[in-house]
Amino acid sequence: MRPPCDPSKFIAEAVKSIPPSGIRRFFDLVSGLEDIISLGVGEPDFITPWHIREMCIHSLEKGQTSYTSNYGLPELRDELTRTYYRRYGLDYDPASEILITTGVSEALDIAIRAVVNPGDEVIVVQPSYVAYVPSVILAGGKPVIVSTHRNDDFSLTAEALKPAITSKTKAIVLNFPNNPTGAIMQQEGMEDIADLVVENDLFVISDEVYECLTYEGTHVPFSSLEGMKDRTVMLNGFSKAYAMTGLRLGFAMGAPDIIHSMMMIHQYSMLCAPTTAQVGAIEALRNGKGEMERMVREYDRRRHFIVKGFNRIGLECCNPKGAFYAFPYIGCTGLSSSDFAERLLNEKKIVTIPGDVFGEAGEGFLRCAYAASLDDIRKAIERMGDFVDGLKQ
């Protein structure tokens, strides 16, 4: 008889070292509960606009279900080139400087793997999306954390960044507008960071998936700054702006050598992004501006409502200028972020995400998505107000 085997011994050490997603843990806690109001989901509550769905359906009816180029449909890359030149004057070659990916998550993963060697240091600005640090670790890199703070509206400053840079630093991961804080960067501050990038010969991975959800001022792509186009790979997608989360479509824009290296990983791990989603994305770029702006206006209305509501019940909340998240301070209650979120779920049936999930800088805060109906947000604020009042007794 052959001896039994312990399969766990075959698991890579890098995989063992990464924690499970703190966001997923809270969704597991929700399972089986009724009368739940969720401010936890980081996706639009809108349905993908009909004209986009119709083009996807039409492509299926035509039998457009084969593989595309590893780089993605030429028509989609052409449309992206036109879009970014029109918006920002950025000129990307659709043949060599754009790669279509299966969601922005894949773009992030292969961008990091394309530039990071074992032992390279990668600066991750926190609070940040939960995938950044694990992606660096899985690539063999060493994440170096730089924290942002509410007294700076969670914007990154060159003064905070400079001490973290060493001779081993290879890249910086930026995300503005930011998940979870809703912070944006002003061009003046970005220019200071660009100076540091050049002085230290660094590369920038800029996740700009919330680009179109900028409520105050105008979004400035990091690659649009002088000298930054070849030092930056810009990541973006269709999930947030066009409510296409389940269609899993993203893209990367950067220098030909970087995009080619990313494609080399992409062709072996993914081959190509979903054809149907690519067809829908072409329609979104050509004719989706009106629907996208309508959704953004509604998010903006909810943004003002939720921030006012949090401040009214005693939870100080900075004004988020982008994305669709509010990040109220709950440290005044004496509870940790995790304890507050768990008790709020169990006692008031409100799903939120504890801030420490997004890094130590998020402790004392709560991520609340206003990608929910105004009625649900109103009910959630009322229940949270009752909860906070109960903590004072």
What pLDDT was estimated at residue 41?
A: 83
CA distances from 92 to 56, 99, 105, 313 (A): 26, 11, 21, 48
Q: Counting Cβ atoms within 10 Å, is residue 58 exposed (0-12), middle (13-18) or buried (19+)?
A: middle
End-to-end Cα separation, the chain, in angstroms: 66
Tell me if residue 246 falls in helix, strand or coil: helix
Residues of the chain below pLDDT 70: 31-32
What DSSP string runs through 94-108? TTTSEEEESHHHHHH
Q: pTM higher than 0.85, yes or no?
A: yes
What pLDDT was estimated at residue 211?
A: 98
What pLDDT was estimated at residue 336?
A: 97
What pLDDT was estimated at residue 192?
A: 98
Q: Convert the pLDDT of each residue in 53-107 to its tens digit.
A: 999 999 999 999 999 999 999 999 999 999 999 999 999 999 999 999 999 999 9
The rounded distance, in Å, linking the Cα atoms of 252 and 90 is 14
Domains and CATH numbers, the chain: 8-48+289-388 (3.90.1150.10), 52-288 (3.40.640.10)
Write the Ramachandran bin of 3: left for phi over 0, alpha for psi from -120 to 50, otherwise beta. Answer: beta
CB-CB neighbours of 16 under 10 Å: 8
Decide if 89 contacts 223 (C-beta within 8 A). no
What pLDDT was estimated at residue 24?
A: 74
